[in-house]
Amino acid sequence: MRPVAAKEKSGNAIVETIKTIVYALLIAGIFRTLFFQPFWIPSGSMKQTLLIGDFLFVNKMAYGYSYASCPSLIMPRFGINIDAKNICGFIDGDNTRFWAGEPERGDVVVFRHPVSGRDYIKRLIGMPGDTVQMKAGVLHLNGAPVDVQDDGMFTEAMEPQGPQALRPRCENGPVGMGGVCEKSRQIETLPGGTSHAILNIGNQTSDRTGVYNVPEGHYFFMGDNRDNSADSRLAQQAGGVGFVPYENLIGRADRIMFSSAGRSMLFFWTWRSDRFFKGVK
């Protein structure tokens, strides 16, 4: 017959294990809410700055905190849909932040989509009060074109990318599997001096827009892969981002920690070691 003391010891061990797990989850939740949030790049809208499969931590301290700082847990496969508003909705609605910091033009920012609530990552192009327009593929801010310099070609293999097996769009026409997919690359310099690479695939509607007047307390975002990005150029009603309120900003992307070109991070032969700990510019 098993001694009572042994049973009590076993029961205590189980309780202690459960408590350890709960404490660990609480600490991780607090860390993610207040300091850094992990983010996987799911699409190619920010190429070449960010590639599908890049893994980074978002600096939440950069802009302070709002309801959007609370993490969302969305896992449709398991029927889980816990939105940040379910947790921190009581501070939503006034478009303000606590310990607020102002974003700078050119920052690469993770924010909550104003309608769907999903996390997006784009480059901050238009500040409150700015006018933004695309003319013949060239960005115009407050009526003046930004400086753009040709910088050769961006190339990548035509193959499925990431867990969703997305295939890249190419400027050099239909490309067969295993072929070389090309896009024109330029260096764009924004007012203030921030320079970054942008990619172009072809002449399309998003290269010719009307004038966007960015409201106070809102921001205008665009992807660096200009012809393959659903961003502020497209209205929210049409599936785009539109103008993003200040309170929807989550944080700034500063550094890529890890990168994998395959469908799983476990496929070590697809790791991009040259992107580990690379700064985001």
pLDDT digits over 173-226, tens only? 889 999 999 999 999 999 999 999 999 999 999 999 999 999 999 999 999 999
pLDDT at 89 over 90: no
Q: Rounded CA gap, 149 and 134, in Å?
A: 16
Q: Please count the structural domains in the chain.
A: 2
Rounded CA-CA distance 71/66 in Å is 11
Query: Do 120 and 256 lie in a common domain?
Result: yes
Asked whether residue 119 falls in the same domain as residue 256, the answer is yes
- Residues 78, 167 within the same domain: yes
pLDDT at residue 161, as a whole number:
92
Residues belonging to the active site:
45, 122
The residues facing 176 across adjacent strands are none
Contact between 178 and 140 under an 8 Å Cβ cutoff? The reply is no
Does 30 share its domain with 43? no
The reply to whether 148 and 14 lie within a common domain is no
| The dihedral sign for the CA sequence 189, 190, 194, 197 | negative
* Minimum mean pLDDT range among 103-107, 196-200, 237-241, 250-254: 237-241
Query: Does residue 29 carry a pLDDT above 60?
Result: no
Domain that residue 17 falls in: 1-34
- Judge if 16 and 42 occupy the same domain: no
Query: pLDDT-derived band of residue 8, with 50, 70 and 90 as boundaries?
Result: low
**Three-state secondary-structure class, residue 90:** helix
Shared domain for 15 and 41, answered yes or no, is: no
Q: Global pTM?
A: 0.84
Helix (H, G, I), strand (E, B) or coil at 98: strand
Same domain assignment for residues 96 and 24: no
How long is the chain?
281
Q: Report pLDDT for 9.
A: 52
Q: Would the pLDDT of 149 be above 90?
A: yes
pLDDT tier at 27, thresholds 50, 70, 90: very low
Residues 28 and 82 in one domain: no
Q: Do 23 and 155 sit in the same domain of this protein?
A: no
Q: Are residues 61 and 28 in the same domain?
A: no
